[in-house]
Chain A
């Protein structure tokens, strides 16, 4: 591994760290080190293993193999608080705040200042004010409940909470993703101060310009492996993008039909919602699979939820086959022929304790009922056909759906919606956590549905999949569609460049010739 040798002893050293989740490799033999007084960026695609890496360092999960040394001593952290006690503090993407408690309560939650054994509210408030002032966000009132703060301010509180633990090693996992640009500047200044004080800082971010502005060194991860570590300035942005992509064996995808001019099925015009969707315009034709790409959390999920009638206060126009629709609930969306395979199949897609049969027909009960009664014969028939069509591997239709494998569960979710004969199918990362074989069946099924005239809007965190399956891909960044890619332009370099909202894909940039 071409690691840059350094004169300083490493503060944190990982050697041979591996981690699997239910047989799926998340990290494989990772060696990694970072130093005091340095800001060290960790880069990689979605699923490259960055999150697992920091979860191991922060004591959230334990590695299967490998050792971790902190300041020369071997350590194992059984819990996040054990890591905190050793000076390792992580600011996670999913906030660890308690929404009903005040800002001051949250900041001091682990070790509040006490007087006569009781929490000293005044000292606690002063402490919160000091820490918030240290970041430069004095405008947050420590008395406010976290629930009543906007997301950007919550993230500030999260940072203040971490600062209060006096970290020796501070990990920021996309900690600036929700901040306003003014606050980002303040956080930069704070990080520079901590760095000068000798704190080791691990910085995970998808924003390349942030990494360029901040980091002293950077490490690239791909597919659970540590690829390379280099000092800032040694690699061009295009090089880094190449390192992140690598050259993986592509999955098998069904052939795409020649691109005609499909008749528009779903048209979205100027759709906005709650600062998280910003004037989205998009159309999906009958027989077309349109991908939604970009980094996680850029509004793709919100867009699908908005179309499915889950969100309130959506502005803009949505038309289905030329007729304006305004679904106010999933039931209304269903009635105009929209189906959604949701993000979390275990809570939003399936009723796990209920049988496979019950889950299959739950969305199309009207179609198989006579009056208020479900027609048993038609029900049995419909279930048989669905199971055969999707080749769902089951014991008996009466078994609880929880007994199926992840891939087969996802097939049940999809089959449930196919039974409603949808014109528009919205897919929210449907292949996440699913084995390769089932993935390919799903790809084939998507193409089949499109060929039968359905319009498919497909969000995926897997770029390879977007390229292989989609006729067109819309890349989202910060609630907007920043670019649409199709034909020759639809390649990984362009997707990543657009997802990072940088301009690395100009033809004269070295390294972009691949694809």
Chain B
């Protein structure tokens, strides 16, 4: 039994390292923060972490299959722009229209109220998944390298976002914003459950930030089942040795499409949250690019090999949290914010170097080039 535990730790050393690194950094951060260890700080951090954590999960899945998805930031941005039309929650609904080629096409009224908001959320997530599905099809049936395919589709998605929101704008239901970006207690008070959050049994958990709860739910309800499905196994197998996966009769093409679709879904979750958090839609191109690059960094810090086959989306969540906590430090210590990229880069280098130590054990140097 002890053997098994040792094996599991050794195999997941990347994730373990990321968790330890995050724990140490976050502990130090809270110790140094004047209001450390309070729900308020936790809530603020949760809001800042969520979108990147989602994008890190998104990036993980194609990377496990030896691909790279450069469109995750674009999908996030596009879904956010859609959300700024569909999640207004306006009582009479929202009139949607399409202005294109000089035409003014009415698209009817999107329902408002709670049911409208729920429908809007489902549609936004479906758009994310659809964008990922398109990526997967381009890669598999177009036989185009993932990095190029998603570079192109990412530009298309940004284009759609710009078309939807040439300038930042739109609106998100205020209650929705309040309910999802604060603590569980605030959530309960907003949606009127558990005596508006005042139920005595609820008090011990009322301080937990909603974004953390969402993160855990998505990880448990989406990632964990996927990892244990045959398709999820096939994704790992493709990333590990595609030829062997083929010889074992695995559905290689379906696995790749599933990997990109799931990436689109996670990126959509991130975009949805970002729109809700900022109460608007914004086709922010630099932001999309930064999120994409940070998602790759998070994946690597979280112990997933860019060669594919090993790693986990859970590790990537911690990778994202490590990246974010570094930026938190700039707020409490009086360091010039301009130095932030420099420190982030150094920490990324250090984290990646640990992962590269295995190269020293290779006995046939030709294997380094395969």
Contacts and interface: CB of A to CB of B under 8 A. Distances in A.
A105 B244 CA distance: 13
Contacts of B309: 98-101
B241 A143 contact: no
B363 A274 contact: yes
Contacts of B240: 98-101
Interface stretch (A64-72, A181-189, A306-314, A460-468): A306-314
Interface residues of B, number: 32
A228 B156 CA distance: 64
A101 B236 contact: yes
Interface stretch (A114-122, A258-266, A396-404): A114-122
Contacts of A310: 364-366
B182 interface: no
B363 A105 contact: no
A112 B227 CA distance: 13
Interface string A225-268: 00000000000000000000000000000000000000000000
Given A119-B228, A312-B364, A348-B366, A98 B249 contact: no
Contacts of A305: 364, 366
A110 B249 contact: yes
Contacts, number: 91
A95 B230 CA distance: 21
Chain A interface size range = 35 or more
B3 interface: yes
Interface string A290-304: 000000000000100
B363 A143 contact: no
B241 A98 contact: yes
B247 A96 contact: yes
B363 A141 contact: no
B109 interface: no
B350 interface: no
A193 to B, nearest CB: 24
A329 B365 contact: yes
A312 B363 contact: yes
B229 A119 contact: yes
A100 B366 contact: no
Contact of B248 (A102, A109, A273): A109
B362 interface: yes
Contacts of B246: 80
A117 B228 CA distance: 9
Contacts of A145: 11
Contacts of B310: 100
A311 B249 CA distance: 34
B247 A118 contact: no
B250 interface: yes
Interface in A81-108: 81, 84, 92, 95-102, 105
B8 interface: yes
Interface in A429-472: none
Contacts of B366: 305, 310, 348
A118 B225 contact: yes
A111 to B, nearest CB: 9
A92 B304 CA distance: 30
Given A98-B241, A99-B309, A101-B240, A313 B363 contact: yes
Given A143-B7, A144-B7, A305-B364, A98 B225 contact: no
A82 to B, nearest CB: 8
Given A100-B240, A305-B366, A312-B363, A110 B248 contact: yes
A313 B364 CA distance: 9
Nearest to B64: A100
Contacts of B4: 141, 143
Interface string B291-313: 00000000000000100111000
Interface string B211-254: 00000000000000100111001001101110111111110000
A141 B233 contact: no
Nearest to B7: A143
Contact of A141 (B3, B228, B245, B249): B3
Interface string B186-205: 00000000000000000000
A348 B309 CA distance: 25
B230 A119 contact: yes
B88 to A, nearest CB: 38
B257 to A, nearest CB: 19
Nearest to B225: A118
B244 A81 contact: no
Interface string B331-370: 0000000000000000000000000000000111110000
Nearest to B244: A96
B207 to A, nearest CB: 33
Contacts of A92: 247
A428 to B, nearest CB: 12
A80 B249 contact: yes
Interface string B49-89: 00000000000000000000000000000000000000000
B34 to A, nearest CB: 45
A421 B233 CA distance: 52
Contacts of B244: 95-98
Given A102-B11, A141-B3, A274-B363, 4 more contacts: A96-B248, A98-B244, A100-B241, A109-B237
28 contacts: A79-B249, A80-B247, A96-B244, A96-B247, A98-B240, A98-B244, A98-B248, A98-B309, A100-B239, A100-B241, A101-B236, A101-B240, A102-B11, A105-B236, A109-B237, A109-B245, A110-B248, A112-B233, A119-B228, A119-B229, A141-B7, A143-B4, A143-B7, A143-B8, A145-B11, A274-B363, A312-B363, A348-B366
